[in-house]
Amino acid sequence: MEWDSLNELNERVVACKSCERLAEFREHVLENSKKYSDVKFWRKPLTGYGDISGRIMIIGLAPAASGGNRTGRVFTGDKSSDFLISCLKNAGLTNQETSTSKDDGLQYIDSYITLAVRCVPPENKPERSEVLNCNGFLIQELKFMKNLNTIIVLGKIAFDSLVYALKEMGVNTKGWKFGNGNFYLANEIGVFCIFHPSPRNVNTGRITREKFIELLNGAREFSLSKSLKP
């Protein structure tokens, strides 16, 4: 199915209940939490956010229970967001270092961020069928990004969802494999693979801030260099 505008697509996203398991989970996760007893949760799917006419797309995994499922915006209000947004700022891709709530003034520069799966999954582990259910939304966003020349995937599930989408769009992804720092070309579009900035990856040292920023800078430089070509 195709949608004529991003607004129309986003209306469909927010109303989506295609995955029974996730639609049920997003409604009830953390509902007995004392920490959030006075907080009204979003509890709906998340749309992408940022500059749809930008040149860079960033794809994450899914909302966090206390992050996007609470605040209603992708990568907002949790530990992964703290790490990611401060690194994006360092690489020149956001206007500020923090992402705490929908009205905090965060803007993405020349970039748009979205998710492989738009509803919070139990234990952050969506099923393959759920990634596929959500894939049509990603395909549509890819089509809406008319200036796209660079894609950054954060983690294996984001990578897999991109590969599903590209195959559907007729792009040859034969031999592609996720790995931190891996790079591929999807026709002329550069695809950069980076570990997901989850607390587990950060706290265990699997990713460091320096390496993460270095990879983001590589993607940004690629995007700028493509833009300079006649």
Tokens of 173: 């992804």
Q: How far apart are CA 160 and CA 132, in angstroms?
A: 10
Tokens of 78: 């949790």
For the bound state, the minimum distance from the C-beta of residue 130 to ligand SF4, rounded and expressed in Å, comes to: 5
Q: Which is nearer to ligand SF4, 15 or 185 (CB)?
A: 15
Tokens of 68: 């996007």
Q: How far apart are CA 43 and CA 9, in angstroms?
A: 18
Interface with ligand SF4 (CB under 6 A) = 13, 16-19, 22-23, 45, 117-119, 130, 133-134
For the bound state, the minimum distance from the C-beta of residue 122 to ligand SF4, rounded and expressed in Å, comes to: 12
User: Is the four-CA dihedral 16, 31, 84, 95 of positive or negative sign?
Assistant: positive
Q: Which is nearer to ligand SF4, 55 or 196 (CB)?
A: 196
Give the residue from 223, 8, 10 showing the smallest Cα distance to 114: 10
Q: Which is nearer to ligand SF4, 68 or 197 (CB)?
A: 68
Give the residue from 202, 205, 230 showing the smallest Cα distance to 79: 202
Q: How far apart are CA 6 and CA 47, in angstroms?
A: 10
Q: Which is nearer to ligand SF4, 26 or 220 (CB)?
A: 26
Q: Which is nearer to ligand SF4, 73 or 89 (CB)?
A: 73
